[in-house]
Each structure stands twice: as structure tokens, then as C-alpha cells.
Amino acid sequence: MGFDGMLTSGKMGMNKRKSERTSTGTKTTPAERNIPPVLQIDDLSIHTRADSSGKRLVRNLNLTIQPGEMVALIGESGSGKSVTASAVTGLLPAPLSMSGGRILFQGRDTATLTSPERRAMLGKEISVVFQDYAGSFTPFIKIGKQLIEMIRRHMGWNKTTARVLATQALEQVELAAERVMDSYLFQLSGGQQQRVAIAAALMLEPDLLIADEPTTALDTLTGETILQLIDSLRHKTKCAVLFISHDLHHVIKRADRIAVMYGGEIVESGPTDVLVREARHPYTRFLLQSRMDLADVPARLQSIPGEPGAVSACGCPFALRCPVRIARCDSEAVPEMMVSDGHTARCHLIGEAQGDLGAAEITRTS
């Protein structure tokens, strides 16, 4: 376990609670202070082909991230969340392409960037931490060399200065910097590898960190320390985070806002506490329900019906699995509807009593 265990008792873990409150705080939101959002995704669609003839992976997605904010994008595998992240970085794998909408980073349409401009932005203003930590650095080159390479690429510093920053960055994630600098990636443990990836991602103090399931491939304990690390470092560097996960429970504790994806659509989004209290979409309610305290209601716990990932071609994507479906759900597309301030959902039954989702009922409704 080595370094992984040290963080929980480390000082970073201790003093972070306070700053967390201020960013989600009650006084003024960045929007009210008239600061443009870090990331604004409008009506994004992604298809498997260049024109819109291919399979649609993401449809009409809207998402905004304010400076310093942590937004979680939740969904099953195949729901389009990672593809959305790739679209933001401009690193969509070859057959996929954006077929509609726009992505504004710091108010600038990323589609207008030339590819050198995009590359200059990546790593410096937008950083990515991948799920596959073993593939986060080239296995043939020592880590130190790759960190220095990255710093010099963006900052144009000499080797010595770059080395100082790289060392500091590794110390920030509580690694034995000198030893790690002189190691190849495969010589480190999984948790250590992910720490190096986080160190690299936050080293140049980007405005946005995209964390694409950074803990999925790690064991629970290591994953938890990695999450704490991201959380504390984002407060330190005032970096906004787009946190992608398939696990709602993982993010409730830390995200300021949550967006739930199903079948390429954001079916519901809102501030974390609001969403937890008054989820309106049946899918979100299922997700929350499966989180409920096991000791209280073991009998009521149930999984979401239907085949995971089954997406209805027209109408509501969740229609095939929804227990409260009505006729309209199969045919009629659902517009994004405002539930309350900042809380939106896409469900025809949003205003109506959806009633029981099956064996269990939602206990903590307000």
C-alpha cells in the first residue's frame, strides 16, 4: 500500500472541509458575479460518423461548469459520458465526431481552435486524468523525463526549473519525488501511478480537470484517497473539475452538481443536495434508491429493471426500462424541463406523481 495510506492521515485531508463550503457556498455564485463559465456545452451531439448518419452516442447535451466547481457526470458504461469528455478535449477517437452543438471553453468555441492551439491548451488549461492509469505515461520513458517534457512544452522553461516544478508536483501528491522521477511507470503501484497522473494533470494549474473514472480501476480504499487528493488539490488550485463516474454514491460526497446521463442524454441534473432530495427522473431515483441504507430496508433494495444500457431509439431513452412509462414516452422526445432553479429533468411525468417505482418507495422525499 505504501504511499496510498499516508494521505488519509496527511494534512491535506484535514484542512479542506472549510474551503469546500465556500465554493458551493450560499453567498454569491460565480454566475452572479458575472464570471463566464469555464466550460459551457450547448446542445452537443456526437455520432459514430462524420455526418449524422451513424449511430448517435450523445444527443442534445447541455452542461455548464463554473470556475472552481466540481460537476459530476454519472451514467452506465456506454451512456456517452466519456465520449462527451473526449469531445471537450478534442480527442474523440477517429470514427466518432461532433455532429451538432458547440463547446465553449473560457468563452471560446473549441471548434474554432487550430490543432496547435488545441494542443497548447491541453495539459495547460484543460487536463485529463484517465481511468487507465497504467497507460497515462509512455512505458519506455522515465516519469521525470515525461513530466519535464510536459512542463517545457507549455512553459518553455529550462530543464532545471522544470525539474523543480515536477518534483514539487510529485511531493504535492505525497510521493517520494526523486525516486518516482527516476522510475518507469510500470515500477509503481496502481495508486502511485494514478497519483503521478494527477500530479501531472494539476502541475500547471489548469482551469479545468477532466477526471474520467479515475478510481474505477483502483481498489476502494486507494480510490478514496485518490478522490480526497483531487478534492484537496482542486481547492488549492481553484480548478474546476468535470468528474466522470458510473457510481452516483461516489460523487454525492464531493460534487457541487451532478448530471445523470442515460443513453446519450442528460436525463436529470442539479445541485447535489437538491438532486439527492428531490430526484424527478425515474432513472435517478433508481440510482439513489439502490444507495439506501442496507441495514434499514434490505427487502426493499432492488436493482433497476430491464437490460442495462437498453436505449429506446425514439422518445425517452429510458422508456424500455421505466416502470412508470406512459404511451408518450415511446414516441415523443422529452424536452429539458426546469424543476427548480438549477434543477432540470427530462421526463414526461415530471409534474405528476410518479408513484411507486416497484417494490421500494423513495423514502427521503421532501
Partner 1 sequence: MLGLIGSRLLQMIVVGLFLTFATFVLMKLAPGDPVKTILNIDDVAVTQAEQEAVRQSLGLDQPLVVQYTEWFWRVVRLDLGESYITHRPVADLIESKLGATMTVTLGGLTVMLLIAVPLGILSAVYQNRWVDQLSRLFSLIGVSLPSFWLGLVLIYWFAYQWRLLPSMGNGGLMHLILPSVTLGIAMAGVYTRLLRSGLIKSLAEPYVRAARARGLGEVRVIIVHALREGVLPVVTMFGMSLGSLLGGSVVVEMLFAWPGLGKMVVDAIIQRDYPVIQGYVLCTGMLVVLINLGVDLTVRMLDPRLRWRS
Nearer to partner 1, 62 or 183 (CB): 183
Selected range binding partner 1 among 146-154, 239-247, 288-296, 298-306, rule: CB under 8 A: 146-154
Running DSSP on this structure, what letter comes out for residue 315? Answer: S
Nearer to partner 1, 94 or 353 (CB): 94
Of the candidate residues 153, 236, 254, 328, the single one contacting partner 1 (CB under 8 A): 153
Counting contacts by CB under 8 A, is residue 127 touching partner 1?
Answer: yes
Q: What b/e readout covers 11-44, taking b as 16+ CB neighbours within 10 angstroms? A: ebbeebeebbeebbeeeeebeeeeeebbbbbeeb
Selected range binding partner 1 among 20-28, 120-128, 311-319, 329-337, rule: CB under 8 A: 120-128
Selected range binding partner 1 among 11-19, 49-57, 97-105, 144-152, rule: CB under 8 A: 144-152
Counting contacts by CB under 8 A, is residue 316 touching partner 1?
Answer: no
Counting contacts by CB under 8 A, is residue 68 touching partner 1?
Answer: no
Counting contacts by CB under 8 A, is residue 139 touching partner 1?
Answer: yes
CB 87 within 8 A of CB 46: yes
Lookup result for grid cell 431513452: 317
Burial class (CB in 10 A: 0-12, 13-18, 19+), 136: buried
Counting contacts by CB under 8 A, is residue 105 touching partner 1?
Answer: no
Nearer to partner 1, 142 or 291 (CB): 142
Three-state SS for 175?
Answer: coil
Counting contacts by CB under 8 A, is residue 130 touching partner 1?
Answer: yes
Beta strands in the chain, from DSSP E residues, in sequence order: 39-47, 56-65, 70-74, 97-105, 108-109, 126-129, 208-212, 240-245, 257-262, 265-271, 337-340, 343-345
Counting contacts by CB under 8 A, is residue 123 touching partner 1?
Answer: yes
Lookup result for grid cell 455532429: 99
Of the candidate residues 161, 184, 324, 362, the single one contacting partner 1 (CB under 8 A): 184
Of the candidate residues 136, 192, 245, 344, the single one contacting partner 1 (CB under 8 A): 136
**Alpha-carbon span 157 to 162, nearest angstrom:** 6
How many residues are recorded in the chain? Answer: 366
For CA atoms 80, 86, 87, 93, give the dihedral sign. negative
CB 239 within 8 A of CB 206: yes
Selected range binding partner 1 among 130-138, 225-233, 251-259, 291-299, rule: CB under 8 A: 130-138
Which phi and psi (to 5°) does residue 220 adopt?
A: -55, -45
Nearer to partner 1, 5 or 139 (CB): 139
Counting contacts by CB under 8 A, is residue 67 touching partner 1?
Answer: no
**Alpha-carbon span 80 to 96, nearest angstrom:** 12
What part of residues 84-103 is at the interface with partner 1 (CB under 8 A)?
89, 91
Counting contacts by CB under 8 A, is residue 156 touching partner 1?
Answer: no
Counting contacts by CB under 8 A, is residue 336 touching partner 1?
Answer: no
Backbone torsion region of residue 227, taken as left when φ is above 0, otherwise alpha when ψ lies between -120 and 50, otherwise beta: alpha
Of the candidate residues 154, 246, 280, 285, the single one contacting partner 1 (CB under 8 A): 154
Counting contacts by CB under 8 A, is residue 192 touching partner 1?
Answer: no
CB of 233 to partner 1, least distance (A): 17
Of the candidate residues 8, 22, 53, 138, the single one contacting partner 1 (CB under 8 A): 138
Q: Which three cell numbers stand for residue 168?
A: 514539487
CB of 89 to partner 1, least distance (A): 6
Using CB under 8 A as the criterion, which residues of the chain lie in contact with partner 1 when the complex forms?
Answer: 89, 91, 115-116, 119-124, 127-128, 130, 132, 134-141, 146, 149-150, 153-154, 184, 186-187, 197, 200
